[in-house]
Amino acid sequence: MYEAPEQFKVPEEVKEFQKDCDSLGMVSDGKNWFVTPEWSRKFKAHYEKLLKLAESGEPWSQYNLGSMFILGYLYSSKEESEKNYEADVMSGSKWLEKAARQGFVAAVDTLVVEGVGPESDRLRGISKQVEKEHPEYIQWDKDENMPVIMPSHFEAVWERAYGKDR
């Protein structure tokens, strides 16, 4: 999870959700990982609390609600997850967009990497432009031969998409 951006106070409900995310119980069916039924029930309870805050405009709740949908934390089986996947990723992307528009840069990261819809597509296009102009924002983990996208990259994407002059 991201550290709290200084301008956003983290509500207690979000802290409780993130604590559970850190100790998340998951199971494997041999190919895929799923939340256990016990944890699915816990996350459904978190959903109710976060939804109220997210609807009131609280960006931490919007970000975490969006992440909960995209990560499939509300389902404890492959069948449930697959059945709801498209609608949940769309719902999650909408909540992430609300947080991003308020300056919550972590939401931009998730929208670029996992979001769907026109706003995610627009942000991915901006991300590609930023990557070309600032290759130093992408570093390589030599041990795993994987790119590590620096927070400055997503900050630049946010600035172009939603910055002061927009």
Q: CA–CA separation, 129 vs 124, rounded Å?
A: 9
What is the separation, in whole angstroms, between the first and last Cα of the chain?
28
* pLDDT bracket for residue 40 (50, 70, 90): confident
Q: Which two tokens stand for residue 163?
A: 């910055």
Angle at 111 between CA 104 and CA 58, to 5 degrees: 35
Look at residue 25 in the predicted model and tell me its pLDDT: 61
**pTM for this predicted structure:** 0.84
Average of pLDDT values for 6-22?
81
* Residue of 115, 69, 118 lying closest to 154 (CA atoms): 115
**All structural domains of the chain with their residue ranges:** 12-162
pLDDT for the residue numbered 26 = 56
* CA separation, residue 152 to residues 49, 76, 135, 155 (Å): 31, 35, 11, 5
Predicted pLDDT of residue 147: 83
Q: How many CA atoms lie within 13 A of 150 on its CB side?
A: 12
Lowest-confidence pick of 28-37, 54-63, 75-84? 28-37
| CA-based radius of gyration for the chain | 16
Q: What is the mean pLDDT of the chain?
A: 86
Helix spans in the chain (H): 12-22, 37-55, 59-71, 78-101, 105-114, 118-133, 151-162
Query: 36 pLDDT band (50/70/90 cuts)?
Result: confident
In the predicted structure, residue 57 carries a pLDDT above the cut 70:
yes
